[in-house]
Amino acid sequence: MQKTYVLDTNVLIQAPYALESFEENHIVLPLAVLEELDRMKQSEGERGQNARQVIRFLERLRLQGSLLDGVALPEGGTLRLEVNHVGVALPDGMDPDSRDNRILKVCKGLQEDGTPAILVSMDIVARIKAQMMGVAAEDFTTDKVTQTQAYTGRADVYIPNDLMSGFKKKGVPVQELYTVDEAGNRRPAELTENQFVILRSDTQEKKTMLGRCRDGKVTALGFAGAKPFGVKPRSVGQQFLQEALMLSAGQAPLVIVQGPAGTAKTFYALAVGLEMVLEQEEREYRKILICRPNAQFDQDIGFLPGSEQEKISPLMRPVVDNLEILLDQDGKKEKRSSEEELRGRIDYLFETGVITAEAMNFMRGRSITDTWLIIDEAQNLTPRQVKGIITRVGRGTKVILLGDPAQIDHPLLDEHSNGLTYAADRMKGSPLCVQLTMQPDECERSELALDAAMRM
């Protein structure tokens, strides 16, 4: 049975391909949505580009027939503009002239005319108001990750003890490994390509080894003894993180790291990046490029005063904090460098181009080569943005997506629809992508931070 969907503007701005995502159903665009697209088409960054993309698509449909009467969509179904239902009554207190409420008027008017319509909006408040008016409402779910158990990039398995001695040299086939279910039954291990593994001896409880699954075999970590830029891993998670980061761009051009604050995601990505760019005799990467998306910032950067670097410097403060720790060679308080010395070292890295920082909307259309590319706070990316970044990666570039899906600032994203979660879901099992989720008990920021992470 065909359905009728009324689309909110935010759906088209976040997913300009949405008009082709409703199969054989009918799509209604209220006049308020068209006006909002027209207003946004001059905007900077992704918002403006997406608005223009939708408008161009509507123009192609207009040339096929009357949008007021309805036009067939390429993927099936129809689309039409709705200019009626202006006088539909709203509940007391609701502004009849607001854009959101004008869209709700259309939904209610269609319903009163005998056409049950479903509002599709990424705005939670709009969906709540729809319910108040007796209108069915849904989120846009095309890009949402629906899996109930997130992939963490690591697994705990058992290995026959007699295979432990040869593991470091030869590795072990996945079929030799197993897990034990709640009933005590032995089950074959199910591992994903590039998944990290904790191997536990099946006869000696405390005997463990670490490895990574590759081509049907688990092999030992290749960088277990490394100390990139003087940093030594302090937990199993950091050993896995170090391995993922130190693999060459040819082996693992994409690394996705999720986890709560304080688990050294950004710190370790910077440490390994500095090691690769500054310490290696034959440099694999020319520079470190850092992007830290922010919903409001990326939309408004074009209107802020100052140079690009001056505009983005407030967002780089967490990065600078980590650089201060890395560049302060002696951790003892009485021997720490002065603020002036640290500031000078950090300024040198930026002034010489060893590290550069850019806003997300300046990434559009580029081909990035031979670069250590860190995308911090990637949970504030949309799926379209993260796809745009990964698909622009040229030869020799390694992309590191970092973030915590539980800490989202973007008003239209959630744990299931943000770009970090989307990338993790779509890239799971890729031989070119290594993923890892850091655990709360691996927090290394301070004893207080660890205690708070576990309690709060």
- Residue 309 has what pLDDT? 57
Q: Cα dist. 144→61, 122, 148, 233, 419 in Å?
A: 27, 11, 12, 34, 10
Q: What is the mean pLDDT of residues 88-100?
A: 91
Which pLDDT value is given to residue 43? Answer: 87
Summary mean pLDDT of the chain: 90
How high is the pLDDT of residue 333? 46
Q: Write the CA distances from 449 to 28, 50, 234, 456, integer angstroms.
A: 50, 40, 15, 10
Q: Is the pLDDT of residue 334 over 60?
A: no
Token pair belonging to 241:
């993180």
pLDDT at position 365, please?
A: 65
Task: Give the residue carrying structure tokens 């890395």.
Answer: 326
Q: What is the pLDDT averaged over residues 344-371?
A: 85
Q: What is the pLDDT of residues 171-201, one digit of tens each?
A: 999 999 999 998 889 999 999 999 999 999 9
Domains of the chain with CATH codes: 4-138 (3.40.50.1010), 146-220 (no CATH), 234-455 (3.40.50.300)
CA distances 50 to 45, 71, 323, 362, Å, are: 9, 21, 36, 15
Tokens 């989307």, residue? 422
- For residue 121, is it left (φ>0), alpha (ψ between -120 and 50) or beta? beta
Least confident of 44-48, 115-119, 307-311, 371-375: 307-311
Please tell me the predicted confidence (pLDDT) of residue 300: 46
Q: Is residue 298 over pLDDT 50?
A: no
So what's the pLDDT on residue 452? Answer: 76
Arithmetic mean of pLDDT, 246-268: 95
Q: How confident is the model at residue 271 (pLDDT cuts 50, 70, 90)?
A: very high
- Helix (H) or strand (E) holding 447, with range, is helix 447-455
Task: Supply 42's token pair.
Answer: 């001059």
Per-residue model confidence (pLDDT) at position 310: 60
pLDDT digits (tens, 9 = 90+) for 102-156: 999 999 999 999 999 999 999 999 999 999 999 999 999 888 887 667 899 999 9
pLDDT of residue 335: 56
Which residues neighbour 286 within 8 Å (Cβ) at sequence distance 6 or greater?
277, 370, 371
420, burial (CB in 10 Å: exposed 0-12, middle 13-18, buried 19+): buried
pLDDT at 412: 86
pLDDT at residue 295 is higher than 60: no
